[in-house]
């Protein structure tokens, strides 16, 4: 008898447990989708996007990071990455889809195949993204570019201000929610100073870079292989920021884990303020 009971128990355990169908009146869970598009300061391995998707949204959100290193508002579309993003935006099953758009770093001059004209192409590209997202039934949210972390005599340098201002202008013209990451990140980095800001990079600074930061003036983290006299800051940055090349190194643009966590928290707070309907889906 005991042997029979053991065999019967084994058969019961071996039987698959089928999931019960929901009752007809069971409401479907409300789900939102957030899609990120932009450059390396948003993308995996270098941007705030992974921390945002991993730690600042609830399980009721599908957060998809489609940002790519080295991309501008122009070549993100030209290489057809935007087509992939739009397929994601149109994916069904969600109550609402939101698309965060952050460009500017690679739109600067001196970056062949990436640069766009600030007065004409850059705003036109942003407007086109906004219009196509709206046409797909989703909500666009513009994000001003994350600051770089270079200082001169204790003052944070601002080489991305014009691109941030243009983004603000497009947001105002088209009545698009805006996350002013440029302003918020600049304020935070200026207050902490160069030495503390260096902690946000992917790797620790070389000794000479760390020593320079103590004086209030940062020095280049690395030198281009063939530097040319009279290059703009954007050209110098382009020389040490190869397009789409994943790497772990110290620079004043990209983010390690601490930097990603810090700025993702800022993005989350600003997003909650800009789009109140998203607050219940966000984790501060």
CATH code for position 260 = 3.40.50.1110
pLDDT for res 222: 73
Residue 20 lies in a domain: no
What range defines the domain where residue 57 resides? 29-222+252-281
Of residues 41 and 6, more confidence is placed in 41
Q: What is the mean pLDDT of residues 119-132?
A: 99
Count up the domains in the chain and report the number.
Answer: 1
64 in helix, strand or coil? strand
Q: How far is CA 39 from the centre of its chain?
A: 7
Instruction: Give the three-state DSSP class for 22.
Output: coil
Beta carbons within 8 Å of 53's beta carbon, 6+ residues apart: 34, 36, 63, 64, 65
Give pLDDT, residue 10.
Answer: 54
Q: Among residues 252, 269, 145, 238, which one has the least CA distance to residue 199? A: 252
Pick from 1-15, 164-178, 239-253: least confident? 1-15
Does 145 reside within a domain? yes
Indicate whether 269 belongs to any domain: yes
For the segment 205-219, what is each residue's pLDDT rounded down to a tens digit? 999 999 999 999 999
Please give the pLDDT value at position 212.
97
pLDDT > 60? residue 233: no
Report how far residue 184's alpha carbon sits from residue 16's, in angstroms, rounded to the nearest whole number: 54
In this structure, is residue 214 part of a structural domain? Answer: yes
In a domain, residue 5? The reply is: no
Is 126 contained in some domain?
yes
Interval 84-89 mean pLDDT: 97
CB of 238 closer than 8 Å to CB of 111: yes
- Sign (positive/negative) of CA torsion 203, 207, 212, 216? positive
* Residue 227 banded pLDDT, cuts 50, 70, 90: very low
Residue 14 lies in a domain: no
Q: Under a CB-based contact definition with an 8 Å cutoff, are residues 143 and 194 in contact?
A: no
Q: What is the pLDDT of residues 129-164, one digit of tens each?
A: 999 999 999 999 999 999 999 999 999 999 999 999
Residue 95 in any domain: the answer is yes
């Amino acid at each position: 008898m005991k042997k029979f009971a053991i065999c019967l128990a084994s058969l019961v355990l071996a039987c698959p447990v089928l999931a019960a169908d929901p009752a007809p009146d069971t409401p479907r869970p409300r789900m939102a989708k957030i899609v990120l598009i932009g450059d390396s300061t948003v993308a995996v391995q270098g941007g705030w996007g992974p921390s945002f998707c991993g730690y600042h949204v609830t399980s009721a959100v599908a957060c998809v990071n489609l940002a790519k290193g080295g991309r501008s508002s122009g070549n993100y579309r030209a290489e057809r990455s935007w087509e992939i993003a739009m397929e994601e935006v149109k994916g069904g099953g969600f109550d609402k889809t939101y698309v965060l758009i952050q460009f500017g770093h690679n739109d600067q001059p001196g970056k062949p195949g990436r640069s766009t004209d600030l007065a004409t192409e850059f705003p036109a590209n942003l407007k086109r993204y906004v219009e196509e997202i709206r046409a797909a039934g989703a909500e666009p949210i513009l994000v001003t570019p994350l600051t770089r972390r270079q200082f001169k005599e204790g003052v944070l340098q601002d080489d991305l201000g014009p691109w941030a201002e243009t983004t603000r202008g497009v947001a105002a013209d088209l009545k698009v929610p805006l996350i002013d990451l440029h302003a918020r990140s600049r304020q935070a980095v200026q207050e902490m100073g160069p030495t503390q800001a260096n902690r946000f990079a992917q790797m620790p600074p070389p000794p000479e870079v760390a020593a320079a930061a103590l004086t209030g003036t940062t020095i280049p983290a690395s030198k281009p292989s063939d530097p040319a006299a009279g290059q703009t800051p954007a050209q110098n940055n382009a020389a040490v920021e190869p397009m789409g090349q994943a790497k772990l190194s110290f620079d004043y643009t990209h983010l390690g884990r601490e930097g990603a966590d810090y700025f993702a928290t800022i993005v989350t707070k600003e997003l909650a303020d800009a789009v109140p309907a998203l607050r219940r889906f966000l984790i501060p």
